[in-house]
Amino acid sequence: MIKEKNIKLIFISLSLILILLIFFLPFFWIITSSFKNPEEIIATSTTIIPRSFTLEHYYKILFYSDFFIYLKNSLIVSFFSMFISIILSVSAAYGLHKLKFYGNKFVEYSLLVTYAFPGVILLVPIYLLFAKLNLLNSYFSLIIVNVLFASPFAVWMLKAFFKLIPNEIEEAAYIDGASRYIVISRIIVPLASPGIASVAIFCFIISWTEYLFASILISGDDLKTLPVGLAGIVGQYQIDWGFLLSGAVLASLPVIILFVFIGKYFVSGLTEGAVK
């Protein structure tokens, strides 16, 4: 008994160290490096505890780059993608898990497959379709694609939350003469609000981080999103690391702030659907 406990303790300690080193240290190093002066960043003798402190990289990116244009584009695209995804996925999840209809299992599995399916396979066809419809170079083209990527998994996430709402509450409301609209807006949505919050953050993240389609469907500089703007710096022959690092930190900040507030719903929402 004692021996097994020790083995377990050693396993836990070792994996804790491994997790800290691999999954948390990089963030610490990148964030502190974004405040180092250029010489220290590219020095061959790498420093873990910074020796210098400067805000010049942030100054440069905030005042001498297109950062705010990209930020504005990313915010617009992500917000509208999130909004449309929530409406479509809440409606679909209600139909799938509260109404039960002929073919609902088929729809449920198809949604799961479509979540993983799109990506690069659809790149060429969608590009051609949007070219025909004159949608290239518009926010709308990215919103259409992001909703496609985010909604199927959002429905999957909502499943657990919808199943937790007892049918009796709904039935009681109907007996009292409530309409479908009242039931959804006064009962279902408030009770599923933690689920809807987690779906919202998921959809926002999917849209915020999307790179592939944003890099192909948008060619105008004034419409580019943050990931595409950042990738432009990565691709340069001579990388200005300080500039790039501060850009990376700033581009991650909005999702991190969002996560600080509703992150705990997100983590539970993300994982419930797979188990239930």
Residues numbered 11 to 40 that lie near other proteins (CB under 8 A) are: 12, 15-16, 18-19, 22-24, 26-27, 29-30, 33
CA angle 87, 89, 92 (to 5 degrees): 110
For the chain, give the number of residues: 276
Q: Does 231 bind other proteins (CB under 8 A)?
A: yes
Q: Does 125 bind other proteins (CB under 8 A)?
A: yes
Among 69, 212, 240, 262, binds other proteins (CB under 8 A): 212
DSSP-assigned letter for residue 36? S
Q: Does 256 bind other proteins (CB under 8 A)?
A: yes
State which residue, 177 or 235, has the beta carbon closest to other proteins: 235
149 vs 77: CA distance, rounded Å = 13
Q: Which two tokens mark 179? A: 């309409």
229 vs 128: CA distance, rounded Å = 24
Q: Does 122 bind other proteins (CB under 8 A)?
A: yes
Residues numbered 43-82 forming contacts with other proteins, rule: CB under 8 A: 43-46, 48
Residue identified by tokens 């020095």 is 43
Handedness of CA 42, 44, 47, 52 (dihedral sign): negative
Which among 153, 163, 166, 145 has a CA at the least distance from the CA of 198? 153
Q: Does 151 bind other proteins (CB under 8 A)?
A: yes
- Rg (Cα) of the chain, in Å, rounded? 23
Q: Which two tokens mark 92? A: 């679909």
Among 35, 58, 67, 94, binds other proteins (CB under 8 A): 94
State which residue, 208 or 223, has the beta carbon closest to other proteins: 208
276 vs 273: CA distance, rounded Å = 6
Q: Does 189 bind other proteins (CB under 8 A)?
A: no
Backbone dihedral region for residue 138 (phi beyond 0: left; psi -120 to 50: alpha; all else: beta): beta
Q: Which stretch binds other proteins (CB under 8 A): 58-66, 75-83, 185-193, 263-271?
A: 263-271
Q: Does 124 bind other proteins (CB under 8 A)?
A: yes
Q: Does 257 bind other proteins (CB under 8 A)?
A: no
CB of 191 to other proteins, least distance (A): 16
Q: Which stretch binds other proteins (CB under 8 A): 9-17, 58-66, 75-83, 189-197?
A: 9-17
Among 49, 63, 64, 102, binds other proteins (CB under 8 A): 102
Q: Which residue blocks in 36-166 are alpha helix, DSSP H?
A: 38-42, 56-63, 67-94, 104-116, 123-132, 139-164
CB of 116 to other proteins, least distance (A): 3
Q: Which stretch binds other proteins (CB under 8 A): 57-65, 75-83, 188-196, 229-237?
A: 229-237
Q: Does 251 bind other proteins (CB under 8 A)?
A: yes
